[in-house]
Structure 1
Amino acid sequence: MDLWISMTLAAAFCQNLRSAFQKQLKDRLSTWGSTATRFVYAAPLAIAVLLALTLGRGAPLPNLSGQFFAFALVGAVAQVLATGLLIHLFSRANFAAATAFTKTEPIQAALVGILLLGDALTLPALLAILTSIVGIILISLPKGKDGKWRPDGALWIGLLSGACFAVSSVSLRGASLSLGDANVVLSTSTTLAFVTVVQSALLLVWLRLREPGQTARLFGAWRHAGWVGLIGFLGSMAWVAAFTLKDAASVKAVGQVEILFTLVASRLMFRERVSLLEVAGILLLASGVVAIVMLSR
């Protein structure tokens, strides 16, 4: 198995497990407090790995260009927004459905290309988009009182979260690749160390100014939140490494395996009842996304 595939599978598993822990923390922390656990507890780990590589093993720090800082800052902010929206979504949909909504980014990109750029719409692409749309409709039930399907707020929040995750993935890949000839581990560690420090600083300032008391609760929940940070850090390392080794389209296609992980977690960890319609919708959505990704290569 190619290394990038292994990294993608590991990243998808860690991301799903991290989200599950953050959903559990939602009962003790606010949306942004739960969001902060991913970054505040991961930042020291990222810094420690980078110091071990540069000071412990004598690896030179890569040249940090303006391009690196631009990509990294955009990726950092987009990832914070995407994570916050996902955690907020957990209170409006079950774990599997909430996660599935965020996987719509390739479909969104295809639709934007068709509407704004006049991209050609082939029959396979049309079928893939229609398959995903049917999946979204099935997931986003219930229906209105008159029996007609009406997209609720959860759908729009999920779509926006997926778009932010897309911006984050592309930006972090750009930041890592801008480091030039640095090896994968060093470029990944450098990117994550900078990004998580920025994210932690932004969230801690936000909590201090807008949600007094949340900072104390954040650090008071260290036994649980620490696992979020560790698992999130491992997942982020795997994602950035995969994006550095392989094009984003291929990584995203393999990464759809997270949908299966969420179905298992929804049932076993949260005892949520996932209806047959939701399962069918999730699988249709995932199939359409994979098809769009593969057709775009």
Structure 2
Amino acid sequence: MSDGAWWWAAFAIAAAAAQTVRNAAQRELTRTLGTVGATHVRFLFGFPFAVVFLGLIVAATGTWPPAPPAAFWPWVVSGAVTQIVATALMLAAMGERSFLVVTAYTKTEPVQVALFGLVVLGDAVTLPMIAAILIATVGVVLMSLRPGQAGLQTGGLRPMLLGLGSAALFAVSAIGYRGAILTIPAGFVTAASTTLCLALMIQAVLLSAWLALRDRAVLIAVLKAWRPSLLAGFMGAFASQLWFLAFALTAAANVRTVALVEVLFAQAVSRFAFGQRATARELFGITLIVAGVVLLLWVH
């Protein structure tokens, strides 16, 4: 395999690093803007940067992107809507558990894809796959327990369910975006950038309209907080640009495997930026989650 064939891995690693910074910035904005407001920041302030990215590509190639076909829209809309809800669930979970722990919850995404395949599509599940799912599940349970608890109580169960729900919707979103990219008859860079631009436009319009109707005060607060929101917006658009480039080159499962390095980045941010120390139990749980996900994708 030529070196160029591994560009998707480089894109995924860089995207994981950028996404960690974006998540940390959004987490801080949750304190002043609330969960929905901080969720909106990612899309509203990310959209202009996505337009800039697409403009640079058009200038470099001298070619305008083709009009997306009809098959593009169901894919991109499903990806955009599920990503909105997934982001909101993730930020809500981060308000109750540490940055590192919630990031690890979201990394169960590939495991959930296998479970969805079994329940919805009737895909066969082998013994090694069952072992991988059980290993990752034990890791999630270990992380959900707090010192002194005899079992899963509200303090541990609620953020766990929020994190796992977020992972499930991120999985659906990734599939939607890859499907959208593959429908555009253009090079992978143009197809990925066009999809990103239109997805962020849909998300910015939907959330702006929802807030304008339901909670105008939050929308005003988001607009007033434009300075601290620029970092989250830029890093969000930059991470998405890299994710989409990776999705254009290989299957989403491959990209999500490499994305597990985000847990390591999150551990560094959690320790040095937020002063949150992971317990030995939580670190062991993270290890089991990563091991289970890697084993699952390896046996595939």
TM-score higher than 0.5 here?
yes
What amino acid maps onto 1:86 in structure 2?
Answer: M
CA distance in 2, matches of 1:116, 1:54: 41
Among 133, 155, 161, the alignment partner of 2:160 is 155
**Cα pair 2:35 2:92 within 8 Å, conserved:** yes
State the SS of the aligned residue for 2:32.
Answer: coil
State the SS of the aligned residue for 1:291.
Answer: helix
What amino acid maps onto 1:245 in structure 2?
Answer: L
Among 180, 189, 194, the alignment partner of 1:175 is 180
Quote the offset at 1:54 in angstroms.
Answer: 3.6
- After TM superposition, the runs of 4+ consecutive aligned structure 1 residues lying more than 3 A away are 51-57, 112-121
CA distance in 1, matches of 2:75, 2:159: 29
CA distance in 2, matches of 1:217, 1:4: 37
Quote the offset at 1:214 in angstroms.
Answer: 1.3
What amino acid maps onto 2:48 in structure 1?
Answer: P
User: Which residue of structure 1 aligns with residue 242 of structure 2?
Assistant: 238
State the SS of the aligned residue for 1:28.
Answer: helix
Quote the offset at 1:115 in angstroms.
Answer: 4.5
Quote the offset at 1:249 in angstroms.
Answer: 1.6
CA distance in 1, matches of 2:226, 2:296: 40
**Cα pair 1:31 1:88 within 8 Å, conserved:** yes
User: Which residue of structure 2 aligns with residue 211 of structure 1?
Assistant: 215
Structure 2 runs not aligned, ≥5 long: none
CA distance in 2, matches of 1:115, 1:175: 24
CA distance in 1, matches of 2:14, 2:197: 20
CA distance in 2, matches of 1:92, 1:100: 14
State the SS of the aligned residue for 1:120.
Answer: coil
What amino acid maps onto 2:174 in structure 1?
Answer: S
Quote the offset at 1:118 in angstroms.
Answer: 4.6
Name the one with the larger helix percent.
2
State the SS of the aligned residue for 2:238.
Answer: helix
CA distance in 1, matches of 2:213, 2:271: 37
More deviation in 207-216 or 119-128? 119-128
Q: Provide TM-score, normalisation by structure 2.
A: 0.92
Structure 1 runs not aligned, ≥5 long: none
Q: Deviations over 1:18-77 (max 9, x none)?
A: 000101111111111100111111111112332344467531322311111111111110
What amino acid maps onto 2:279 in structure 1?
Answer: S
Change (3 A) 1:23 1:120: same
CA distance in 2, matches of 1:225, 1:29: 10
What amino acid maps onto 1:92 in structure 2?
Answer: E
User: Which residue of structure 2 aligns with residue 15 of structure 1?
Assistant: 19
State the SS of the aligned residue for 2:216.
Answer: coil
State the SS of the aligned residue for 1:35.
Answer: helix
Identity %: 37
Change (3 A) 1:242 1:56: closer
User: Which residue of structure 2 aligns with residue 25 of structure 1?
Assistant: 29
CA distance in 2, matches of 1:217, 1:259: 31
CA distance in 2, matches of 1:54, 1:259: 35
User: Which residue of structure 1 aligns with residue 199 of structure 2?
Assistant: 195
2:90 equivalent to 1:86 = yes
Quote the offset at 1:206 in angstroms.
Answer: 1.5
Quote the offset at 1:117 in angstroms.
Answer: 4.8
What amino acid maps onto 1:286 in structure 2?
Answer: V
Q: Deviations over 1:212-271 (max 9, x none)?
A: 211221122122110001111110000000011111121111111111111111111111
**Cα pair 2:138 2:288 within 8 Å, conserved:** yes
More deviation in 2-11 or 113-122? 113-122
Change (3 A) 1:118 1:191: closer
User: Which residue of structure 2 aligns with residue 287 of structure 1?
Assistant: 291
Q: Provide TM-score, normalisation by structure 1.
A: 0.93
**Cα pair 1:253 1:294 within 8 Å, conserved:** no
Change (3 A) 1:39 1:134: same
CA distance in 1, matches of 2:118, 2:80: 28
Quote the offset at 1:143 in angstroms.
Answer: 7.1
What amino acid maps onto 1:175 in structure 2?
Answer: A
Change (3 A) 1:246 1:117: closer
Change (3 A) 1:26 1:283: same
Among 51, 73, 78, the alignment partner of 2:77 is 73
State the SS of the aligned residue for 1:289.
Answer: helix
State the SS of the aligned residue for 1:92.
Answer: coil
Change (3 A) 1:221 1:290: same
